[in-house]
Structure 1
Amino acid sequence: MAVLREKIRRIEAGNRHAAAVLPFDLPAIDARLPGGGLALGALHEVAGGGNGAIDGAAAALFAAGIAARSKGPVLWCVIRQDLFAPALAQAGLAPDRVVYAEAEDEKAVLACFEEGLRHGGLGSVVAEIGRLSMTNSRRLQLAAESSGTLGIVLRRWRRQSDAADFGQPTAAATRWRVTVLPSVPLPVPGVGRPRWLVELIRCRAGESADFEVEACDAQGRLSVPAGLANRQAFPAAGRGRAAG
């Protein structure tokens, strides 16, 4: 399987140089990703496991943690002014690293996203988008490849019916879904560190899998809950095959 994945990667890369990666520094996750991390110069999708605000917020923090670990300024393209900067800072993304671009509709967001990816001077670009066609995703993927910038599509929907679009194929290298889990009980009164079920539901030239993790810390890093530290990630039913 490893040889087959490498052949697929070379075919898809064509004449481009091998892309660098941004590892999660969690062996259970990095082992599932070609190259041992998220490909830079590529497009990645993130969404909440449900259509509610709680899972949507967790998906945003997951994206913020990734952006926090990239090197350089971060461009975040939005339509709604509902991001809470202190929460992003808790996930490692300091306010002085973020440039917010507010657009009036998704067409304008896509234009800002593409321009940011082609700029070449940004560490990563995040854009909140409800619908993403194959044509638009290919344009964004090519823009990311041209500069080596990491692009994150944060899928957010105004209507529940729009969430079905997340199942449509796109050119994204990976597709993630984040669901909030109960936090680990503390030995004293209080709230423990948030936990997430992070699902890698598509990975080009790789395999899909599920991971139970503790939410991003102040450096944007995930961790494995103490009770799971010695357990392998469990593949969901029907997800043990190569995806992509």
Structure 2
Amino acid sequence: MSKALSSLREAIGAIEGTGIAGHPALQFGIDPIDAGLADRGLRIDALHEVAGAGPNYGDDAAASLFLAGIAARNAGSVLWIVRRRDLFAPGLYQAGLAPERLIHAEARDDAELLAIMEDALRHRGLGAVVGEPKRAGMTATRRLQLAAEGGRTLALMLRRPSRAGDDPFAQPSAAATRWRVGCLPSEPLPVAGIGRARWRLELVRQRGGAPFAIDVEACDETGRCALAAELVDRPDRAGRADARAVG
């Protein structure tokens, strides 16, 4: 490969965020997930979107906790902006996001929420900015992506279905990754009781990489997920889960 062609590919990678330019990344610490991500982790100076796999409360809560775990693992305070007062701080704490790190804000409408997100990302002093808009199109998400680039503040967005049950990912977005989180039966215990919650993570789109799906145990008090026990015991199954694509 010529030097000119190599330089051109690196320049394109820097623009598209494919990881070629060495963007900072937050690793999950789960080999099948980190290996499947284009940046070998979750790119920090980028926008990432998460939605529940279904319109039920369980999947919606799982998506929120997944976001909380990601935010908790990046150093610094976390600004969480909502439009309705349903943020449950004790639940976020169980997913690793301590109350002393959480800054809560309530916006009147999507325009105000997205403006707060953009200003907070440009501030460069936070570990993560989480927003829950009802709608955010390509222009808005592109502005958030540009505001995040070059910093170390994660831009995270919780996408919720409308009352009509529309797909929250129906609109195009400039996000680097888009995830769905769905609840699975909890970890079985040798005695009667409820074990650690389990989720199915589906990376439905990522810039510079392929989609995949994998089953994990939910975030613990450090914000980290873990491979489901049967995948740990059977590495060949974990490999197949990493390779399995979703539409």
Tell me whether the two structures share a fold, i.e. TM-score over 0.5: yes
Please tell me whether the aligned partners of residues 44 and 173 of structure 1 are also in contact (alpha carbons under 8 angstroms): yes
Q: How has the CA–CA distance of structure 1 residues 179 and 238 changed in structure 2, closer, same or farther, with 3 Å as cutoff?
A: closer
Q: Distance in 1 between matches of 2:118 and 2:51?
A: 20
Instruction: Decide which moves more: 135-144 or 99-108.
Output: 99-108
| Whole-angstrom distance in 2 between the partners of 1:15 and 1:180 | 32
The residue identity in structure 2 corresponding to 1:112 is: I
SS in 2 for 1:166: coil
Partner of 1:226: 229
Aligned length: 233
**Cα deviation code 1:148-174 (max 9, x no counterpart):** 32100111234134x334122210000
Judge conservation of contact 1:65–1:93 (CA < 8 Å) in 2: yes
**Counterpart of 1:98?**
102
Q: Equivalent residue for 1:112?
A: 116
Q: Does 1:121 align with 2:125?
A: yes
The 3 A distance-change label for structure 1 pair 70 and 238 is closer
**1:147 corresponds to:** 151
Deviations 1:42-94 (A, max 9, x none): 00000000011110000000000000001100000001111111110000000
Of 7-16 and 111-120, the range deviating more from structure 2: 7-16
Q: Between the two proteins, what is the percent identity of the paired residues?
A: 52
Pairwise mapping of residues 121-200 of structure 1 onto structure 2 (< 5 A)? 121-161=125-165, 163-200=166-203
Structure 1 counterpart of 2:59: 55
RMSD: 2.0
CA drift at 1:14: 3.7
State the alpha-carbon separation in 2 of the partners of residues 126 and 149 from structure 1.
10
Give the match for residue 215 of structure 1.
Answer: 218
CA distance in 1 between partners of 2:152 and 2:133 (Å) = 21
Q: Secondary structure at the match of 2:132?
A: strand
Equivalent-residue separation in structure 2 for 1:8 and 1:62 (angstroms): 33
Cα pair distance change 1:211/1:7, threshold 3 Å? farther
> Which residue of structure 2 aligns with residue 44 of structure 1?
48
Whether 2:102 is the aligned partner of 1:88: answer: no
Cα separation, partners in 2 of 1:57 and 1:228, compared to 1, 3 Å: same
User: Aligned with 2:167: secondary structure?
Assistant: helix
Shift >3 Å, 4+ stretches: 6-10, 14-18, 234-239
Give the structure 2 partner of residue 71 of structure 1: 75
Instruction: Compute the displacement of 1:13 (Å).
Output: 1.5
Structure 1 CA distance, aligned partners of 2:8 and 2:195? Answer: 44
Unpaired segments ≥5 residues, structure 1: 1-5, 240-244
Q: What SS does structure 1 have at the residue aligned with 2:60?
A: helix
Q: CA deviation at 1:208?
A: 0.4
Is 1:33 matched with 2:28? no
Structure 2 gaps of 5+ residues are 1-6
- Matched-pair contact (CA < 8 Å) for 1:42–1:173: yes
Asked if the contact 1:132/1:165 (under 8 Å) is kept, the reply is no
Counterpart contact for 1:101–1:112, Cα < 8 Å: no
Counterpart in the other structure of 2:3: none
Q: 1:190 to 1:153 in 2, by over 3 A?
A: same
Aligned residue in 2 for 1:3: none
The letter of the residue matching 2:22 is A
Deviations 1:66-123 (A, max 9, x none): 0000110000000111111111000000010010111111111111111111110000
